[in-house]
Structure 1
Amino acid sequence: MRLTYKPTERKPGRSFMARQDKIPCIEQDWHYHKELELIYFIKSTGTRYVGNSIGNFGPGELYLIGSNVPHLFRNHKEYYENNQEIEGVDLIVVKFEKEFLGETFVELTESSKIQMLFEKANRGLKFSKAVSYLVHSHMVGLVGSQGLASVIGILNILDILSISENCKTLCAEEISHSFRKDEKERMAKIISFLNENFDKKIELKEVASIANMTPNAFCRYFKKRTKKSFSQFLNEIRIRHACKLLIEGRLQIATICYQSGFNTLTNFNRQFKSLMNITPTEYMKKYETNVEVA
């Protein structure tokens, strides 16, 4: 996998793009584009990479990704194995440029909150499910709308999002201009390798060789670019996968530990509680009683 730049997808005569995808699985590389992107998952689960942020995603979640922010939404492995129990993916994607209604639009006094929303999107935004519920009908209606009705539709969505306080920034700092093109491609190779091998033993020198660096140089580079140590970043990928298995409730915690790439249950418990502020057992029980964990 390499970082790819995706050109504008909107059709001639349209100021933005809106589509609904019903597909078996998400097939994409780590990528970026000039447009801001709204992604609404109706059906789908997996792991998200936005800038230097890692997390799981699931049904009913809504994200806003800023201009030129590298990102990847990847389904869990079973989606790519023709598993008949998997329902597939149903999502809505809306892409638009900051100036899609003209350069002076975001400078209007009435648009000040939307301008702030666009700025916050440079760190990636995840909205609460309550907000997703508020915009659900607007997102669905936007896909088939045309003409002025489509413009009114997207403005309604942006207005709701701009005044909502129920959103979470995914990255500690703006990401859109923190990587040069060659660095983005190098990081894409690293993320691809980790995504495919996190459940196995990974040697530091093996990852460093992918980046064409010595282990020491790689550690300095990785920490500078992601604001996280390599081991912390890898553990986050493993813990997010463990969360998915814990929610499913089909496996014993010890089995989940090893399937997530940890070699001891003690280390797994310690790393899980450090990241999630709760033990694996407590996490599983929360979902057994249908109480959502933040």
Structure 2
Amino acid sequence: MKANFEVITADNGESWTFFQRNAQTALPFNWHYHPEYELSLVLNASGSRYIGDHIGACDGGDLVLTGPNLPHTWAVQAVAADRLIAVRVIWFTHEWIERLCATCPEFQPLLRWLADAGRGLKFSDAALERIRPLIAHMDDATPMTRLILMLQVLDVLKSDQPVQLSSAAFSGAPDRHGESRITRVTHYLTTHYREPIDLRQLATLANLTVNSLCRAFRQHTRASISEYVARLRIGRACAELIDSTKPIATIAHDTGYRNLSHFNRQFRASKGMSPGEFRTSFHRPDAG
């Protein structure tokens, strides 16, 4: 299933966008993406969130930041008839953040923090409770006051320790933590992950011994080379399962697996479900 492109526009006189929706009994499945960052606060909801290749439960409140062009949606119902769903959404562009940083160096940490948003970030319940009153005041605030509230929201979020949701491979997020020699290796793997991996070839590319490469790679990516390649393969397989009708065996082969059983085991270990179950969850009757 292809994600829909969504156009976001800001009101005249404002450099970012705030939107709210109240008294919803349900949110339909609307798989979409856009070039803006999106901070979504969903309250009184029970169901599932879909962020890239992540599928997770949403029960009560959810505060999630998605990066540019990362497909996402929620499919939820009100937790109770007397507690209807409330949605608050903030959209802003990378260029907006860059302009802030160029004018005020105090905002520079935001750029480093937003680097991980390409995979989707779920914030803690504590952060959600601190954010709620700030966002609640945005609706009837003047544009200047709303901007001040927005900056306070960002300040709260950057001090939290959110959970990354989607795989790096799905969103195309590059490795931003590695030094140049490890970055050369990750870039190579991004292109050649379908092929058998030769550690000696990778070590030569990084100008390291095999043992030094393995240590440095884990230090900078927090994964072994085999784990990293598996993430790339599974991430690409997820995209194919969502966007195409190819047989699962074909997808397994095209993403570097020569053994379908091995693919099924790795997929279940990564996603907690079989490839078929994953595909079915994205082709719900109400998903179109």
Give the equivalent residue in structure 1 for 2:128.
132
| 1:105 equivalenced with 2:100 (yes/no) | yes
Q: Does the aligned pair in 2 maintain the 1:30–1:188 contact within 8 Å? A: no
- Runs of 4+ with deviation above 3 angstroms: 83-88, 174-178, 186-191, 220-224, 226-234, 236-240
**CA–CA separation in structure 1 for the residues paired with 2:264 and 2:100:** 35
SS across alignment from 1:34? coil
**CA–CA separation in structure 2 for the residues paired with 1:146 and 1:37:** 21
Gaps of 5+ in 1: 179-185, 192-209, 241-294
Q: Which amino acid aligns with 1:235?
A: M
**CA–CA separation in structure 2 for the residues paired with 1:237 and 1:46:** 21
Matches within 5 A, 1:252-263: none
**CA–CA separation in structure 2 for the residues paired with 1:239 and 1:43:** 27
**CA–CA separation in structure 2 for the residues paired with 1:96 and 1:228:** 39
Give the equivalent residue in structure 2 for 1:88.
84
**CA–CA separation in structure 1 for the residues paired with 2:40 and 2:164:** 15
SS across alignment from 2:96? coil
Q: Does the aligned pair in 1 maintain the 2:37–2:94 contact within 8 Å? A: yes
**CA–CA separation in structure 2 for the residues paired with 1:8 and 1:61:** 21
Give the equivalent residue in structure 1 for 2:191.
none
**CA–CA separation in structure 1 for the residues paired with 2:251 and 2:95:** 38
Give the equivalent residue in structure 1 for 2:69.
68
* Amino-acid identity (%): 23
| 1:176 equivalenced with 2:176 (yes/no) | no
TM-score by length of 1: 0.60
* Aligned-residue RMSD, C-alpha: 3.7
Matches within 5 A, 1:192-271: 211-221=244-254, 229=266, 231=268, 233=271, 235=273
TM superposition shift of 1:157: 0.4
**CA–CA separation in structure 2 for the residues paired with 1:126 and 1:228:** 27
| 1:121 equivalenced with 2:117 (yes/no) | yes
Choose from 156, 161, 170 the match for 1:160: 156
Give the equivalent residue in structure 1 for 2:229.
none
Q: Does the aligned pair in 2 maintain the 1:54–1:237 contact within 8 Å? A: no
**CA–CA separation in structure 1 for the residues paired with 2:56 and 2:82:** 20
Q: Which amino acid aligns with 1:118?
A: L
Gaps of 5+ in 2: 174-236, 258-262, 279-288
| 1:20 equivalenced with 2:15 (yes/no) | no
Cα deviation code 1:210-252 (max 9, x no counterpart): 934344212245789x999555547289999xxxxxxxxxxxx
TM superposition shift of 1:158: 0.3
**CA–CA separation in structure 2 for the residues paired with 1:19 and 1:104:** 22
Gap change, CA 1:187 and 1:175, over 3 Å in 2: closer
Q: Which amino acid aligns with 1:88?
A: L
Cα deviation code 1:38-71 (max 9, x no counterpart): 1112211111111121211122321111111111
Q: Which amino acid aligns with 1:171?
A: S
Q: Does the aligned pair in 2 maintain the 1:222–1:230 contact within 8 Å? A: no
TM-score by length of 2: 0.61
Q: Does the aligned pair in 1 maintain the 2:53–2:238 contact within 8 Å? A: no
SS across alignment from 2:139? helix
SS across alignment from 2:113? helix
Counting matched residue pairs gives: 209
Q: Does the aligned pair in 1 maintain the 2:267–2:275 contact within 8 Å? A: no
Q: Which amino acid aligns with 1:176?
A: S
